[in-house]
Structure 1
Amino acid sequence: MGLVMPNPGTVIWMLIIFGIVVYVLKKFAWRPILDALKERETSIANALNSAEEAKREVAGLKADNEKVIAEARKERDVILKEAKEIKAKIVAEAKGKAAEEAQKTIDQARQQINAEKTAAINEIKKQVAELSVVIAEKVIKKELSNKGEQKKMVDGLVDDIKLN
């Protein structure tokens, strides 16, 4: 079985039909197909350009977002630092006021203690003076009941006054 040769008339008709099909395709279909391919190529190129531009915009937005986040973090750090300083200041003021109040209370207590001490000493002096007068009165009454003793005491007092 070898290669079978078609009939020469069939080959001619095949070439004629092929030529007509090529001519019809060239006349009516080839230009619209090429135009459609060109449009599609342009559309794909535009889509790629748009995608590239969108990619750049996203990168720019990402950079902007990172800047905003960095600024927000800096502001947060500043606010936290200020809050810590204010807290420390308030605590220091509170401690100072507490110490001041404690010192005032201690000073008032000391003054009260001194005043009470002075009053107690004065009361003791008064009671000692009264007790001394009572004792002296009793001693003098006893000594003055005897006339000889009385004269002796007066003479002793007179002598003491003369010496002084």
Structure 2
Amino acid sequence: MNPLVTPSIGLLFWQVVTFLLVLFLLSKFAWKPIMKALREREQNIDNALSMAEKAKLEMQSLRADNERLLNEARAERERILKEATDAATALVEGARTRANEEGARMIEQARVSIENEKKAALTEVKNLAATLSIDIAEKLIKRELQDEQAQRALVQSYLRDTPLS
């Protein structure tokens, strides 16, 4: 057989001894730091995942808080708009009521003023009619009573018409 294909016992022995020596040195000096680094890396990854989960939960909480605040703000806006609308309606209604009352008061004042002016005009017309009647009667009486006989006839007619009892 070919010596390259079949190793000798001595070569095999030294390969096993070298392998065990390298294995011992690696386990003594390399495996512990490598395993320690792997454990630290695994722990860092676990910490990062747990922090990411916490951040995710915190973000959900913040979103819920933001949504709640937005809903409260919307409700407050709606309440303020409703109050403003109600106040505006009340103001308009109050102004309308005051305008109606003022209009009614002015109409009543105008009616009273017209009635007073009407009464004053009627009184003035009556006074004028009475004055004119007296003036006309005076002129008629003066004309009829220019002679003494007409005066006596008038006095006689008055005496007949007047009851003396």
1:7-156 matches, within 5 Å, as 8=7, 12=12, 18-156=19-157
How far residue 148 of structure 1 moved from its aligned partner, in angstroms, is: 3.2
Structure 2: how far apart are the matches of 1:6 and 1:24? 29
How far residue 150 of structure 1 moved from its aligned partner, in angstroms, is: 2.5
Structure 1: how far apart are the matches of 2:124 and 2:18? 150
User: Number of residues paired by the alignment?
Assistant: 161
Runs of 4 or more off by more than 4 Å in structure 1?
11-20
Any idea what SS the aligned residue of 2:30 has? helix
Structure 2: how far apart are the matches of 1:152 and 1:6? 193
Normalised by the length of structure 1, the TM-score is: 0.84
CA RMSD of aligned residues (A): 2.5
Structure 1: how far apart are the matches of 2:164 and 2:63? 115
Structure 2: how far apart are the matches of 1:62 and 1:159? 119
Residues 56-102 of structure 1 show CA distances to partners (whole Å, capped at 9, x for unaligned) of: 11111111221222222222222222222222222121111111111
Structure 2: tracts of 5 or more residues without a match: none
Normalised by the length of structure 2, the TM-score is: 0.83
Structure 2: how far apart are the matches of 1:15 and 1:40? 34
Structure 1: tracts of 5 or more residues without a match: none
Structure 2: how far apart are the matches of 1:14 and 1:157? 182
Structure 2: how far apart are the matches of 1:162 and 1:30? 161
